[in-house]
Structures are given as structure tokens and as C-alpha cells.
Amino acid sequence: MEIAKANGGYEADRRRLLRLKCSVKDYAWGTIGSDSLVYRVYTANSDDRIDSTRPCAELWMGTHESGPSYLEDDADGSNGVTLRSWIAENPESLGDRVLEKWGCDLPFLFKVLSVARPLSIQAHPDKVLAKKMHKAHPNLYKDDNHKPEMALAYTQFEALCGFVPLQELKSVIRAIPEIEELVGSEETNQVFCISEHDEEKVKSAVRTIFTLLMSACPDTTKQIVFKLKRRLHMESQERHLTDKERLVLKLEKQYPNDIGVISAFFFNYVKLNPGEALYLGANEPHAYLFGECIEVMATSDNVVRAGLTSKPLDIQSLCSMLTYKLGFPEILKGSKIRPYITRYLPPFEEFEVDVCDLPCGASTVFPSVPGPSLLLVLHGEGRMSTDASADEISMGDVLFVPADTEIHLKSSADLKLYRAGVNNRFLYSL
């Protein structure tokens, strides 16, 4: 085995690739057993056995303490040295710009998600708010960092994301009388009296309506959700329900009496095809619904929840922190940067993702960059080499690539590989 594994000798050549063993999460919304991409990748990556009757929701790759990656030990397979501790002893592996900006840690967290049922309606605080929340409630909000993120669809992938455009919101309020019942006609009528060009008034009106809706008392919410469900079932006998209405009925089955059922009408219903990506800034509401994706984010695990979950809610914080921007989110389709490699470049300094689809027998190169990377093999087999190491790779392999390391790939079977790294716009900015 030529790719670096044991801790000894790394200092001799910081450009050697490090094989990693990664952490898995069994959140209730995950896909069960071998139907889960997370399960299949984790069992290929790790010698640990996991219960195939349990959900496998997320595979974490990186340095976050809630799901650390470990250096594979060449001697006995034990998990002793975390990637974070190795980086602390070898800070030059991050590159000068990354080390100066973010200190002695990876600025991004890489994940695989297998979503069988909806995640909570949630948002992630910006840096200022994250510091305040972490200081006030460190057990609940464990990080003082923001958490912009990007989800890249591996299968068909569905999500609720951001508030619908103003004209669609007006149509929603007209079509869904239960919203007016919950928040009052005076408040809902505000929406019809403002122009989309008056951005601050639009945000103010939506903030008022959404906060009143989310703050409704449980008994009233239960009654209104039941009324909504009954009406939609009756109307389905007379007409085809919209995609959003069918989604709401599905949510109600999974989370009966939850205010998140009605609030779903306020959000864009996004359906990604494989190879399409969605990115989210701080303080933007969203809920992943179904499918499998590759996700990358700033290194943080702060989540503020307000519906579609049995976990603790913080409705007041979520409603006060949102940006209330309206409009459909940008969908990234990636840009070819060289043969077989497509790049997804969101507007965040911490991360980007490259996807390599390499046919059997083909070769390509990931040029060296002045920042660290994580590589994930999701399909196929091949050979990976640098000027310091070379080895065979296959599904489930996860590797840390130090800064300034050029990687040569050749596939022996159709190979699909993902690379997460620091955003090139940051690395090469003046």
C-alpha cells in the first residue's frame, strides 16, 4: 500500500495522500440498510459493521468533532489519529492562504446524504448570530461558525428552499384559505397591497405573515391542518391537485398536526435531476425531502429548526433570523473545466465541488491547487498517483489531498469521483 496510512513518516512528504475512515449518522429520516447510498459507501469505507435494519442518513468526511474522519492505520485498522489532529501537526498541508484565513482546520465539511423522509424546516445562522447562539446555548448550537451549503443531486432529489416569488405567494394566499384563518385577513391582505419593487415592504409583510403562521398555538394548528387535509382530499375527487398540494398531503401523513405542513406552501418546491446542484446561504429556510446527494458546507453543525421534526424547535429564532428574500433559487449545472471533470462553484469562499466521470481506460489530471481537498470514490475502480505515492482506488475510498498536490487518475472500470476543495475564487483572488 503506497498511499499514506500510518502516522509515522508523513512529515517526510506532505504531498502524500491520506486514506480516511469516516463517520456515519443514523438519523431517523435516513434510508434503511443497503437501499441507502450512505450504507453502501460506509460499508465499503469501513471495517465496522452497522445494523442493516437502521436508517443510514449521512456519511461525514472531514474534521468536525461530531463526526470526525480518522487516518487509516496500516498496522491494525484501529481508529486512533483523527484528520484534524494530523492537520494540527502538519498545518502546511492546508496551504498558506487557507491557514491564514481559517487557521489549522479544514474550512469545509463533506457529506453523502440518503434522504427517505423529509428533514426539518430549518436554517443556519450567519457568523454573527452563530457566535451569539453558541455563547448562549453551547450544548444546542455547538459551533460559532456559519454554515452555507451546497447539495449536488446523485439521484432525483427534492427540497423546499427559500420563499416563493411574490406573485406566487399571492396565488397561494388566494388558493389556501386556511392560511388566512391562521394569521388573519388584515395581515394576509398586506401582500396584495405592495409592489414587488418595494423590497423592504415585501420582506416586512412576509416576515409578519410567516411569523404569525409559525407561532400559531398547537390546538389551532391541529384544527387547521385537519381542515386543509379534508378539503384537499375532497377537491382531489374533482380536479388534479398541484405538485405542492400533493406534497403537503404527504407531509401531513408523516408529520400530522405539524405547522410545517402548511408552511410548505410558502417555499419553493425544487426538484433536482442528477448532476444539478442547489446552494444555500445563511439564514435561508429549507428542508430536504427525498433522494440522495453529495453535500458540502462550511465546517459547522448549527441548525435552527421550526417544523417537520420531533427535535427541539426554536421558532422565534428562526423567524427572526431569516432574510425573507423571495424568488426561485439558482440551480447549478456545473461547468466543464477539463475532459471528464465538471466543477460546481457556489458563491462561498469555503468550498467547491468537482465531479469526475472517467470511462473505463481513460485518464485525467486534477491539477495542483494551493489548498486542501477531500476525494470520494462513489463508483468504479482505477489508479490514483501523485509524485509521492500511487495506489488502486475503488468505491468507498475517501482520501485527504494536501495543498499543491497534482493527482493523476486512470480508470480500470467506469469511475465516478467527487472532489471537495476550497473555492478557487478565494484561492486565486488578489
Is 137 annotated as ligand-binding? no
Residues ≥6 apart with Cβ < 8 Å to 282: 123, 124, 125, 126, 127, 129, 146, 147, 148
Is 149 annotated as ligand-binding? yes
Using DSSP, state whether 356 is helix, strand or coil: strand
Is 122 annotated as ligand-binding? yes
Q: Is 40 a catalytic residue?
A: no
How crowded is the C-beta side of 64, counted as CA atoms within 13 Å? 24
311-318: list long-range contacts, CB under 8 Å, 24+ apart.
311/120, 312/140, 315/214, 315/215, 316/215, 317/133, 318/121, 318/122, 318/123, 318/214, 318/285
User: Which cell numbers in the block locate residue 272?
Assistant: 433536482
HEC readout, 211-244: HHHHCCCHHHHHHHHHHHHHHHHHHCCCCCCCHH
Is 197 annotated as ligand-binding? no
* Residue 292 to residue 411: CA distance in whole angstroms: 24
Element (H, E) at 337: strand 335-338
By the 8 A CB rule, do 400 and 7 touch? no
By the 8 A CB rule, do 15 and 388 touch? yes
Q: Which of 239, 305, 338, 343 is catalytic?
A: 305
The DSSP line for 148-165 is -EEEEESS-EEEEEEEPP
Please identify every residue annotated as catalytic: 305
Residue ranges of the annotated binding site for Zn(2+) are 122, 124, 149, 286
The binding site consists of 122, 124, 149, 286
